């Protein structure tokens, strides 16, 4: 029996039923007829077999009649989206007909200019936060835009709906294609500091700022250097993009001739740390992966985007062999789906395509990908002390899955055990199966706000 009864807090809720999660030792651990207690702070107070119910009820002072039985439902940890552009959500599902650099100039930059307008931002940001929460994303690592006030608004909306979020005001001082959408180095640094100061001052429980240079092609060495310093001085998270396409890698080489590699451009400016997450990384060399491992930098794998923009295919097995932390991301809107279930499916597809191309490549299993979408994501964002699985002391970030809901998109048969049902949900399920979503013990789906 695991519990934290030494430091006494009172119990808010107790559940009895099936819990599915990942641990360091098991990609999928299924705990049947298990009791889990959530304290008034939203943390997991205990998790134990049902045989301990009487003892637990005495130790923690809850009534056995108050225990909620899950029946055919099960709890799994909330999904962690390690890379999503909230500001691109308005055109998700469209504009997938160009490679990255043209795509940015044609669709992305002209759209992001609109976020000067707070009403426009309020509408899109509310919709993306609600849509991702409804699809089980309990933690999201967001890119906003270069505009500080609307980026603060994204933080406010994530907090209002109860999503755990890292929010980044985007920084960029190079943009030949859409010159109106860039900043001077001074302005970018000043506004980044204002963004961080303002967001921290608001003391949101689970929304934090993240330093966000867009990527090396959009930033001068001077800007990268200042942002590295700001992150270091404030001990902040960092996010950016790396080696998404080969064209981009070639251009970075031309723009930063003094750097040994793309990763070295960021490393030189103190931007690779154990709180850094870099999206894509499709074309990293072995020595760059080693640098990621040595600095603790993690990768956000965004397979829908990589396929949709024909960018490349990340070999996740190779990344894991280098002991680099890795989570999954939707990369809305280069990735067309805001659902992490889609990221799980596209990760499996990409791994299988790599096996078709090279039979020696060992495809990832659904269990391994489940871990990447939950515990792996929490590690990639350095949030693993707070979330990622059902360990005592962590926040209760969880999805209540109903595999037999009346309009379920899949069918369950009597002979099927919980692992098969989990696999069906991951491959065939959707938000209809996600009955309730909890972040730090608070029920955030169904929505509590009347909007
Ligand atoms: Zn991205």
In this predicted model, what pLDDT tens digit does every residue of 357-414 receive, in sequence order? Answer: 999 999 999 999 999 999 999 999 999 999 999 999 999 999 999 999 999 999 999 9
Exposed/middle/buried for residue 143 (C-beta within 10 Å: 0-12, 13-18, 19+): buried
**pLDDT above 90 for 131:** yes
Beta bridge partners of 142: 84, 167
**pLDDT above 70 for 164:** yes
Q: What is the pLDDT of residue 8?
A: 61
Please, which pLDDT band fits residue 4 given cuts at 50, 70 and 90? low
* Distance between start and end Cα atoms, the chain: 42
Q: What's the chain's average pLDDT? A: 97
Lay out the sheet containing 442-445: strands in order across: 2-3, 44-49, 29-39, 11-21, 68-77, 398-401, 434-439, 442-445
Q: What is the pLDDT of residue 1?
A: 55
Q: How far is the CA of 322 from the centre of ligand 1 (A)?
A: 23
Q: How far is the CA of 99 from the centre of ligand 1 (A)?
A: 13
Contacts of 65 (CB under 8 A, 6+ apart): none
Q: What is the pLDDT of residue 7?
A: 54
The DSSP-derived string for 61-86 is T--GGGPEEEEEEEEEEPEEEEEEEG
Q: How far is the CA of 60 from the centre of ligand 1 (A)?
A: 45
150 vs 144: CA distance, rounded Å: 8
Percentage of residues in the chain having pLDDT higher than 70:
98
Q: How far is the CA of 84 from the centre of ligand 1 (A)?
A: 6
Q: How far is the CA of 344 from the centre of ligand 1 (A)?
A: 17
What beta strand segments (E) does 78-218 contain?
Answer: 79-85, 137-143, 164-168, 170-171, 207-213
**pLDDT above 60 for 179:** yes
Q: Which candidate, 313, 290, 298, 293, places its Cα nearest to that of 244?
A: 313
Asked if residue 305 lies in contact with residue 312, where contact means CB atoms within 8 angstroms, the answer is: no
Helix axes 148-161, 185-201, angle to 10 degrees: 30
Helix axes 185-201, 221-234, angle to 10 degrees: 20
Side-chain-facing half-sphere of 307: CA atoms under 13 Å: 16
How is residue 119 annotated by DSSP? H
Q: How far is the CA of 424 from the centre of ligand 1 (A)?
A: 29
Contacts of 103 (CB under 8 A, 6+ apart): 95, 309, 334
Q: How far is the CA of 145 from the centre of ligand 1 (A)?
A: 12
Q: How far is the CA of 408 from the centre of ligand 1 (A)?
A: 32
Contacts of 41 (CB under 8 A, 6+ apart): 9, 440, 441
Q: Using one digit for the tens of pLDDT, what is the confidence trace for 117-129? A: 999 999 999 999 9
Q: What is the mean pLDDT of residues 269-274?
A: 98
Q: How far is the CA of 330 from the centre of ligand 1 (A)?
A: 9
Asked if residue 314 lies in contact with residue 322, where contact means CB atoms within 8 angstroms, the answer is: no
Instruction: Return the minimum-mean-pLDDT range out of 6-15, 56-65, 157-166.
Output: 6-15
Q: Using one digit for the tens of pLDDT, what is the confidence trace for 283-340? A: 999 999 999 999 999 999 999 999 999 999 999 999 999 999 999 999 999 999 999 9
Q: Using one digit for the tens of pLDDT, what is the confidence trace for 54-70? A: 999 999 999 999 999 99
Q: How far is the CA of 331 from the centre of ligand 1 (A)?
A: 5
Q: How far is the CA of 278 from the centre of ligand 1 (A)?
A: 9
Q: How far is the CA of 305 from the centre of ligand 1 (A)?
A: 8
Q: How far is the CA of 169 from the centre of ligand 1 (A)?
A: 13
Q: How far is the CA of 401 from the centre of ligand 1 (A)?
A: 29
Beta bridge partners of 48: 35
Helix (H, G, I), strand (E, B) or coil at 276: strand
238 vs 273: CA distance, rounded Å: 8
Beta bridge partners of 34: 17, 49
Q: What is the pLDDT of residue 386?
A: 98
Q: What is the pLDDT of residue 3?
A: 59
Q: How far is the CA of 279 from the centre of ligand 1 (A)?
A: 6
Q: What is the pLDDT of residue 406?
A: 97
Contacts of 47 (CB under 8 A, 6+ apart): 2, 3, 19, 31, 34, 35, 36, 37, 390, 391, 392
Q: What is the pLDDT of residue 2?
A: 60
Q: How far is the CA of 313 from the centre of ligand 1 (A)?
A: 15
399 vs 443: CA distance, rounded Å: 10
Please, which pLDDT band fits residue 10 given cuts at 50, 70 and 90? very high
Q: Using one digit for the tens of pLDDT, what is the confidence trace for 181-221? A: 999 999 999 999 999 999 999 999 999 999 999 999 999 99
Asked if residue 372 lies in contact with residue 303, where contact means CB atoms within 8 angstroms, the answer is: no
Q: What is the pLDDT of residue 271?
A: 98
366 vs 130: CA distance, rounded Å: 27
Q: How far is the CA of 59 from the centre of ligand 1 (A)?
A: 48
Q: How far is the CA of 52 from the centre of ligand 1 (A)?
A: 47
What region does 97 belong to: left with phi over 0, alpha with psi -120 to 50, or beta? alpha
224 vs 216: CA distance, rounded Å: 8
Q: How far is the CA of 280 from the centre of ligand 1 (A)?
A: 8
Q: How far is the CA of 287 from the centre of ligand 1 (A)?
A: 23
Q: What is the pLDDT of residue 448?
A: 83
């Amino acid at each position: 029996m695991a519990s934290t009864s030494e430091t006494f807090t009172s119990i808010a809720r107790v559940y009895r039923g099936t819990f599915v999660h990942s641990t360091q030792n098991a990609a999928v651990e299924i705990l049947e007829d298990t009791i889990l207690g959530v304290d008034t702070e939203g943390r997991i107070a205990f998790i134990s077999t049902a045989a301990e119910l009487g003892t637990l009820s005495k130790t923690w002072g809850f009534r056995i009649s108050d225990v909620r039985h899950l029946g055919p439902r099960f709890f799994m940890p909330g999904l962690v989206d390690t890379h999503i552009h909230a500001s691109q959500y308005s055109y998700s599902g469209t504009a997938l007909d160009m490679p990255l650099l043209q795509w940015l100039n044609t669709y992305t930059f002209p759209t992001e200019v609109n976020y000067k307008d707070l009403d426009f931002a309020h509408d899109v940001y509310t919709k993306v936060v609600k849509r991702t929460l409804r699809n089980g994303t309990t933690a999201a690592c967001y890119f906003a835009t270069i505009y500080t006030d609307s980026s603060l608004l994204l933080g406010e909306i994530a907090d209002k709906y109860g999503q755990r979020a890292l929010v980044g005001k985007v920084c960029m001082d190079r943009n030949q294609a859409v010159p109106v959408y860039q900043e001077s180095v001074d302005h970018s640094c000043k506004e980044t500091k204002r963004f961080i100061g303002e967001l921290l001052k608001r003391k949101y429980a689970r929304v934090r700022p993240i330093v966000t240079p867009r990527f090396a092609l959009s930033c001068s060495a001077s800007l990268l250097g200042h942002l590295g310093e700001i992150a270091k001085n404030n001990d902040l998270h960092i996010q950016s993009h790396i080696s998404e396409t080969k064209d981009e890698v070639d251009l970075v080489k031309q723009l930063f001739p003094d750097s040994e590699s793309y990763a070295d451009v960021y490393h030189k400016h103190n931007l690779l740390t154990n709180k850094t997450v870099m999206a894509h990384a499709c074309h990293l060399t072995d020595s760059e992966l080693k640098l990621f491992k040595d600095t603790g930098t993690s990768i956000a794998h965004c397979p829908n985007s990589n396929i949709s923009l024909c960018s490349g295919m990340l070999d996740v097995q190779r990344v894991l062999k280098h002991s680099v932390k890795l989570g999954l991301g939707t990369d809305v809107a280069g990735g067309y789906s805001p659902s992490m279930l889609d990221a799980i499916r596209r990760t499996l597809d990409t791994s299988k395509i790599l096996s078709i191309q090279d039979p020696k490549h060992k495809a990832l299993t659904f269990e391994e990908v489940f871990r990447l979408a939950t515990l792996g994501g929490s590690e990639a964002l350095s949030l693993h002390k707070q979330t990622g699985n059902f360990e005592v002391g962590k926040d209760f970030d969880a999805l209540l899955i109903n595999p037999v809901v009346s309009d379920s998109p899949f069918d369950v048969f009597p002979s099927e055990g919980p692992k098969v049902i989990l696999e069906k949900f991951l491959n065939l399920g959707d938000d209809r199966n996600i009955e309730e979503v909890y972040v730090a013990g608070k029920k955030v789906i169904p929505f509590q706000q009347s909007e």
